Amino acid sequence: MDLAIFAQVIANGILTGGLYALIAVGLTLIFGVMRVINFMHGETLMLGSYLTYFLFTLYGLDPFLSLPLAIFSLFTLGVAIQRFFINPVIDAPHLNQILLTFGLVLIIQNLALILWSGNYVSMTTHYSGISIKLGPISLGLTRLLGLVIAIFLTVLLTLALKRTEWGKSVRAVTQDREAAMLMGVNVNRVNMLAFGVGSAIGGAGGMVTSMIMYIFPLVGMLFVLKAFAIVVLGGFGSIAGAVVGSLILGLTESIVTNYVPSGSGWAEGVSFVILILILVLRPKGLFYAE
Whose CA is closest to 223, among 240, 203, 251?
A: 203
Residues in the chain: 290
Number of domains, the chain: 1
For 39, the 3-state DSSP assignment is coil
On whether residue 278 sits in a domain, the answer given is no
Q: Which domain holds residue 173?
A: 23-220
Helix intervals (H) in 136-186:
141-163, 165-175, 177-182
Residue-averaged pLDDT of the chain: 88
Average pLDDT (265-279) is: 74
On whether residue 265 sits in a domain, the answer given is no
On whether residue 101 sits in a domain, the answer given is yes
Query: 223-253, pLDDT tens digit by residue?
Result: 888 888 888 888 877 888 899 989 988 998 8
On whether residue 251 sits in a domain, the answer given is no
Distances in whole angstroms, Cα of residue 129 to Cα of each of 60, 62, 136, 211: 18, 15, 18, 11
Query: 183-239, pLDDT tens digit by residue?
Result: 888 989 999 999 999 999 999 999 999 988 999 999 998 888 888 888 888 887 788
Flag whether pLDDT at 275 surpasses 90: no
On whether residue 232 sits in a domain, the answer given is no
On whether residue 210 sits in a domain, the answer given is yes
Confidence (pTM): 0.91
On whether residue 102 sits in a domain, the answer given is yes
43 or 270, which is more confident: 43
Is the CB of residue 235 less than 8 Å from the CB of residue 285?
A: yes
E-strand spans in 11-71? none
Is the CB of residue 200 less than 8 Å from the CB of residue 22?
A: no
Could you give the angle at which helices 3-34 and 165-175 cross, rounded to 10 degrees? 80
What is the predicted pLDDT for the residue at 229? 84
What is the predicted pLDDT for the residue at 290? 45
What is the predicted pLDDT for the residue at 125? 87
On whether residue 235 sits in a domain, the answer given is no
Query: 124-168, pLDDT tens digit by residue?
Result: 888 888 899 888 888 889 999 999 999 999 999 999 998 899 889
166 HSE (CA, 13 A, CB side): 13
Distances in whole angstroms, Cα of residue 202 to Cα of each of 195, 207, 250: 11, 9, 17
